[in-house]
């Protein structure tokens, strides 16, 4: 019995902590999400390695280079493989992935980060329980068979899905579920990229094109640190990419800023091409109505495989090629002795196409890693071109700056991505060039071109925050816009027999008594007694001086509230700077007309936007 009582007390104390909204709540939630993010990242990493071995390598004999944390060396050779079987591998991966996704969780198609962002804004952070597992398996097969996709999207969706589950299990509010889910995005991406700080910041920045979800920062930091501690342990916490000790990364020549600015501008235009191509290809596949969705990833895989027969560098994650660029071993791209500038530029375009075909057709995977690789090809080409003229800038430096600014611009998360770039490469000396180039890329690509279509402009535009910013229609219409300026009025010196007909003809309970637009009072039928001599009694003798007034800069919501408490059903509108100066009157009918007029405007505006 004592044991059961102790358990009940423990459960009660946990519930109290969760309901108080304390830091302790987010420590617990962040730790749980971080554990799953780290374990999920490791699971996906190993699953991709297994799928690559048993699908791509077993079928074709091709072994692709890997990134620094996987032990990549400075030398690489394609060796003997069967290029004609590459389409077989990519088609097989597309078939299996398509069946898994569309059979068990259709919302797991495409890049997972966008799906997680959409869940935050439009579904109160709710993600179906099966999605993380489906995403893990389908993405491992897509990437492992040679599909051009990244592993950050799946890890983001895995951790975000678990964040949603934790929130439901602990009976947290919709608001807290969204925060937990956002923390999962940051923890998943921060873990898989070995970039805990950048990942934590990314969770606050990636949801919007011009705003931050600051409430997610603390749980994201806790979750990201935890996930990084778990995922990074087998790799001794090394950066994702290894930079040779002989390569200097740093800023020491002010004149280089101009080149970095140009690199950011070029990256911005390259990012626009990436976004337009990606969604253009996606729309083409959406038009294939007669072809079942199950088979569309296989079609995308076939086209990728055909391209890879000549250019195998477009396959898979592509991190290995970035690693070789950092080793400045560009000769692996070609048998020619010269540096392959033309091939780097070709690969820049082909990687965009391959990624668009893989994910745009419905394949499962992320767009972050392909964006990094695409930007690296562009940066390496620029580095090879400018190095002879500016020997103090090496190819690795310009590659890092361009690849980070490339994706920082189109992700609309420039701050977090540039921090992630320094963590992934250890290139902290490039912080200033990264700031300049990423900012330039962000502004060149503008708010229109984002790789994450589920992003909204800011918190005010998010359905998740609608109640925080929503104002009733009546609050938006001023009394000035609703008042009547041609109101019935009379002078206090007039006799009652002269104004009774005016009262009856205007069908109003009261008229304004004024002189030179200076408010003196109001006159209503109730002010006139039956025994009064109408021809000799003046208006000023019987008028009411306790007048209900409202200034022109108030809204009609306030006016309606005041009208319900007046006996005359009318308010006198006075100047806010001179409360004796009459501007007009406002009644129930005037409020209703102004309200209807504003509603019609809003409906017309919505129709124009759609």
Please list, residue by residue across 362-380, b when 16 or more beta carbons sit within 10 angstroms of its beta carbon and e when fewer do. Answer: bbbbbbbbbbbbbbbbbbb
Q: 3-state class of 239 per DSSP?
A: coil
Worst-scoring range by mean pLDDT, 93-97, 111-115, 160-164, 195-199?
111-115
Residue with the larger pLDDT of the pair 519 and 331: 519
Answer yes or no: is pLDDT of 10 > 60. no
Answer yes or no: is pLDDT of 144 > 80. yes
Residue with the larger pLDDT of the pair 217 and 465: 217
Helix locations, 313-367, DSSP H: 319-326, 341-360
The label of the residue with tokens 């389908």 reads 138
Both tokens of 63, joined, read: 């072994």
Stated length of the chain:
610
pLDDT value at position 4?
Answer: 47
Q: Helix count (H) and strand count (E) of the chain?
A: 24, 6
Residue with the larger pLDDT of the pair 234 and 289: 234
Domain 15-466 falls under CATH 3.40.50.1400: no
Question: Which residues make Cβ contacts (< 8 Å) with residue 505, sequence separation at least 6?
Answer: none
Q: Decide if 15-466 and 474-597 have a common fold.
A: no
Residue 252 has φ and ψ, to the nearest 5°, of -140, -5
Answer yes or no: is pLDDT of 5 > 60. no
pLDDT value at position 9?
Answer: 61
Answer yes or no: is pLDDT of 315 > 90. yes
Residue 510 to residue 534: CA distance in whole angstroms: 17
Question: Which residues make Cβ contacts (< 8 Å) with residue 247, sequence separation at least 6?
Answer: 326, 328, 394, 396
pLDDT value at position 245?
Answer: 72
Asked if residue 178 lies in contact with residue 336, where contact means CB atoms within 8 angstroms, the answer is no
pLDDT value at position 588?
Answer: 87
Residue 468 to residue 179: CA distance in whole angstroms: 16
Please tell me what DSSP assigns to residue 105.
-
Residue 32 to residue 480: CA distance in whole angstroms: 56
pLDDT value at position 500?
Answer: 80
- Where does the pLDDT of residue 130 fall: very low under 50, low under 70, confident under 90, or very high at 90 and above? confident
Asked if residue 160 lies in contact with residue 124, where contact means CB atoms within 8 angstroms, the answer is no
Answer yes or no: is pLDDT of 301 > 90. yes
Q: Partners of 570 in the beta sheet?
A: 587
| Domain ranges for the chain | 15-466, 474-597
Query: pLDDT averaged over the chain?
Result: 85
Please tell me what DSSP assigns to residue 147.
-
Q: Which CATH superfamily groups domain 474-597?
A: CBS-domain (3.10.580.10)
* pTM, entire model: 0.76
Question: Which residues make Cβ contacts (< 8 Å) with residue 398, sequence separation at least 6?
Answer: 259, 263, 379, 380, 382, 383, 386
The label of the residue with tokens 């319900």 reads 564
Worst-scoring range by mean pLDDT, 282-286, 408-412, 598-602?
598-602
Answer yes or no: is pLDDT of 70 > 70. no
Percent of the chain at pLDDT above 90?
37
pLDDT value at position 408?
Answer: 93
The label of the residue with tokens 């692996």 reads 332
pLDDT value at position 610?
Answer: 45
Both tokens of 334, joined, read: 């070609």
Answer yes or no: is pLDDT of 18 > 70. no
Worst-scoring range by mean pLDDT, 60-74, 306-320, 325-339?
325-339
Please list, residue by residue across 492-509, b when 16 or more beta carbons sit within 10 angstroms of its beta carbon and e when fewer do. Answer: beeebeebeeebeeeebb
pLDDT digits (tens, 9 = 90+) for 245-258: 767 777 778 888 99
The pLDDT of 144-169, averaged and rounded, is 88
Q: Which of 299, 303, 353, 308 is nearest to 86 (CA)?
A: 308
pLDDT value at position 16?
Answer: 55
Worst-scoring range by mean pLDDT, 269-278, 430-439, 507-516?
507-516
Worst-scoring range by mean pLDDT, 46-50, 351-355, 454-458?
454-458
pLDDT value at position 14?
Answer: 55
pLDDT digits (tens, 9 = 90+) for 539-557: 888 888 888 899 989 988 8
Both tokens of 32, joined, read: 């749980």
The C-alpha torsion from 424 through 414 and 44 to 112, rounded to 10°, is: -170
Percent of the chain at pLDDT above 70?
90
Residue 40 to residue 158: CA distance in whole angstroms: 7
pLDDT digits (tens, 9 = 90+) for 322-372: 888 888 766 666 544 345 788 899 999 999 999 999 999 988 888 988 999
CB atoms within 10 A of CB 24: 12
Please tell me what DSSP assigns to residue 136.
H
Both tokens of 3, joined, read: 């044991």
Answer yes or no: is pLDDT of 314 > 80. yes
pLDDT value at position 494?
Answer: 87
Q: 3-state class of 549 per DSSP?
A: strand
Worst-scoring range by mean pLDDT, 71-80, 230-239, 263-272, 455-464?
71-80
């Amino acid at each position: 019995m004592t044991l059961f009582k102790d358990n009940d007390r423990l459960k009660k104390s946990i519930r109290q902590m969760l309901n108080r909204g304390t830091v302790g709540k987010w420590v617990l939630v962040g730790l749980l999400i971080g554990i799953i993010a780290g374990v999920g990242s490791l699971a996906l990493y190993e699953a991709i390695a297994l799928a690559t071995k048993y699908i791509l390598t077993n079928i074709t004999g091709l072994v692709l280079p890997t990134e620094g944390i996987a032990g990549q060396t400075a030398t690489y050779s394609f060796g003997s493989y069967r290029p004609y079987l590459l389409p077989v591998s990519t088609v097989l991966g597309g078939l299996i992935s398509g069946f898994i996704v569309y059979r068990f969780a259709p919302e797991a198609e495409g890049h997972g980060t966008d799906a997680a962002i959409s869940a935050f804004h439009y579904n109160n952070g709710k993600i179906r329980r099966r999605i993380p597992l489906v995403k893990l398996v389908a993405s491992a097969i897509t990437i492992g068979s040679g599909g051009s996709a990244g592993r950050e999207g799946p890890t983001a969706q895995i951790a975000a899905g678990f964040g949603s589950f934790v929130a439901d299990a602990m009976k947290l509010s919709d608001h807290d579920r969204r925060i937990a889910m956002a923390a999962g995005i940051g923890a998943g991406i921060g873990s898989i990229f070995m970039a805990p700080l950048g990942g934590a910041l990314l969770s606050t920045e990636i949801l919007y094109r011009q705003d931050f979800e600051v409430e997610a920062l603390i749980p994201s930091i806790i979750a990201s640190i935890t996930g990084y501690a778990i995922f990074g342990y087998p790799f001794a916490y090394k950066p994702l990419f290894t930079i040779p000790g002989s390569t200097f990364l740093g800023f020491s020549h002010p004149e280089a800023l101009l080149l970095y600015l140009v690199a950011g501008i070029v990256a911005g235009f390259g990012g626009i091409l990436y976004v337009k191509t990606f969604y253009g290809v996606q729309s083409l596949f959406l038009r294939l109505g007669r072809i079942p969705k199950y088979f569309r990833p296989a079609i995308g895989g076939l086209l990728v495989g055909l391209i890879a027969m000549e250019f195998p560098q477009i396959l898979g994650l592509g991190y290995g090629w970035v690693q070789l660029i950092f080793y400045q071993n560009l000769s692996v791209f070609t048998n020619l002795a010269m540096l392959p500038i033309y091939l780097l530029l070709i690969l820049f375009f082909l990687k965009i196409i391959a990624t668009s075909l893989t994910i745009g057709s419905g394949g499962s995977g992320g767009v972050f890693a392909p964006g990094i690789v695409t930007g690296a090809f562009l940066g390496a080409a620029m580095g090879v071109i400018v190095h002879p003229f500016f020997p103090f800038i090496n190819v690795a430096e310009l590659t890092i700056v361009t690849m980070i600014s490339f994706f920082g611009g189109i992700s609309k998360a420039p701050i977090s991505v540039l921090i992630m770039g320094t963590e992934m490469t250890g290139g902290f000396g490039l912080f200033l060039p990264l700031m300049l180039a990423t900012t330039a890329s962000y502004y060149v690509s503008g708010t229109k071109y984002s790789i994450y279509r589920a992003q909204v402009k800011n918190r005010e535009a998010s359905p998740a925050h609608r109640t925080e910013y929503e104002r009733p229609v009546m609050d938006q219409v001023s009394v000035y816009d609703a008042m009547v300026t041609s109101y019935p009025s009379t002078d206090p010196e007039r006799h009652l027999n002269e104004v009774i007909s005016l009262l009856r003809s205007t069908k109003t309970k009261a008229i304004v008594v004024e002189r030179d637009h200076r408010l003196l009072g109001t006159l209503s039928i109730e002010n006139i007694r039956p025994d009064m001599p109408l021809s000799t009694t003046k208006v000023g003798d019987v008028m009411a001086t306790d007048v209900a007034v409202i200034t022109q800069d108030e809204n009609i919501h306030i006016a309606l509230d005041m009208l319900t408490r007046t006996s005359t059903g009318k308010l006198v509108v006075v100047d806010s700077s001179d409360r004796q100066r009459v501007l007009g009157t406002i009644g129930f009918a005037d409020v209703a007309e102004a309200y209807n007029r504003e509603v019609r405007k809003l409906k017309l505006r919505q129709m124009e936007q759609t």
